[in-house]
């Protein structure tokens, strides 16, 4: 019951915040092209229902992905794509320019978060990580992953140092070294089992590719050595791929 109250109060807070936003001043631009198209929704599939002419001042209300909700002088509101706003003018008479994150921002990133999916010694693995860049080449990463296999599940966390070979290129290979711990839970249908936690070391290599805006694709291979309490250490090979975003 308490949870529902929390959700309800969050909703109320949200509505209040939105209502407060209605009073604000919006950014204005003047149309420089012969006309711009207003769509009914934020996507190319939504029909064009209105055109605004050259010289008209339009207010930019808010933005969703690459689409801007705008208000034209006659009070009509619609969605305009970023590409059409590029040729509008701001009040100083200069071209309206919204800086979008690009390859330079990617090279200068500080923080990065991502999620990857793949195979961990025959089990499915879902992994998330947070990374901080110390220099363009060198970064530290903290990983948390859960793998679900036929006979056991495991939870793994590790701290890694990553060396990126070409930090300013769109595509670059990297190498990584790390250490961490793995907790293995055998399946409940197996009898007389106990959870166990072991430390591990890992080495790996991978490839990163800057996609667009704040997104990066990465794929990697890691070889883990689990220091078990048994006579032999356990080798686990992992490959996975996923998407990250950076700040």
Nearer to other proteins among residue 128 and residue 228 (C-beta): 128
In 3D, which of 21, 9, 132, 25 has the Cα closest to residue 71? Answer: 25
In 3D, which of 162, 242, 167 has the Cα closest to residue 205? Answer: 162
* Dihedral of alpha carbons 101, 107, 113, 115, sign: positive
Interactions with other proteins, residue window 199-218 (CB under 8 A): 213, 215
By CB under 8 A, name the one of 20, 25, 135, 194 that touches other proteins.
25
By CB under 8 A, name the one of 12, 65, 197, 199 that touches other proteins.
65
Lay out the site mask for other proteins across 173-192 (x = CB under 8 A, - = otherwise): ------------x-xxx---
Q: Which stretch, 147-155, 166-174, 216-224, 227-235, contacts other proteins (CB under 8 A)?
A: 147-155
Q: Which long-range contacts (CB under 8 A, 24 or more apart) does 226-229 make?
A: 226/182, 226/198, 226/199, 226/200, 227/198, 227/199, 227/200, 227/201, 228/196, 228/198, 229/196, 229/198
Q: Is residue 157 part of the contact set for other proteins (CB under 8 A)?
A: no
Q: Is residue 122 part of the contact set for other proteins (CB under 8 A)?
A: no
Give the integer Cα–Cα distance in Å for 132 and 109.
Answer: 8
Q: Is residue 73 part of the contact set for other proteins (CB under 8 A)?
A: no
Give the integer Cα–Cα distance in Å for 16 and 24.
Answer: 14
Give the integer Cα–Cα distance in Å for 216 and 171.
Answer: 10
Give the integer Cα–Cα distance in Å for 154 and 201.
Answer: 16
Identify the residue whose tokens are 């009898």.
Answer: 191
Q: Is residue 45 part of the contact set for other proteins (CB under 8 A)?
A: yes
Q: Is residue 109 part of the contact set for other proteins (CB under 8 A)?
A: no
Nearer to other proteins among residue 76 and residue 230 (C-beta): 76
Q: Is residue 60 part of the contact set for other proteins (CB under 8 A)?
A: yes
Q: Is residue 7 part of the contact set for other proteins (CB under 8 A)?
A: yes
Where on the chain is the footprint of other proteins (CB under 8 A)? 7, 11, 14, 18, 21, 24-27, 40-47, 60-69, 90, 98, 115, 117, 123-124, 126, 146, 148, 150, 153, 185, 187-189, 213, 215, 243
């Amino acid at each position: 019951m308490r949870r529902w109250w929390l959700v309800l109060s969050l909703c109320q807070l949200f509505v209040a915040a939105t209502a407060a936003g209605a009073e604000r001043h919006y950014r204005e631009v003047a149309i420089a092209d012969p006309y711009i198209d207003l769509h009914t929704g934020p996507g190319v599939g939504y029909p064009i229902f209105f055109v605004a002419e050259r010289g008209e001042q339009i207010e930019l209300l808010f933005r969703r992905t690459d689409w801007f909700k705008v208000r034209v002088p006659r009070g009509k509101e619609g969605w305009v794509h970023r590409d059409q706003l590029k040729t509008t003018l701001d009040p100083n008479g200069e071209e309206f320019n919204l800086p979008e994150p690009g390859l330079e921002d990617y090279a200068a990133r500080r923080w990065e978060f991502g999620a990857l999916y793949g195979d961990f010694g025959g089990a499915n693995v879902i992994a998330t990580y947070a990374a901080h860049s110390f220099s363009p080449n060198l970064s530290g990463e903290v990983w948390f992953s859960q793998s679900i296999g036929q006979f056991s599940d495991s939870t793994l966390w590790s701290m890694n140092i990553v060396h990126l070979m070409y930090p300013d290129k769109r595509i670059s290979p990297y190498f990584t070294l790390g250490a961490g711990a793995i907790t293995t839970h055998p399946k409940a249908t197996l009898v007389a089992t106990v959870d166990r936690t072991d430390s591990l070391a890992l080495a790996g290599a991978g490839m990163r590719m800057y996609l667009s805006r704040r997104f990066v694709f990465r794929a990697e291979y890691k070889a883990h050595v689990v220091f078990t309490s048994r006579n032999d250490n356990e080798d686990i090979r992992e490959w996975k791929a996923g998407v990250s975003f950076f700040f």
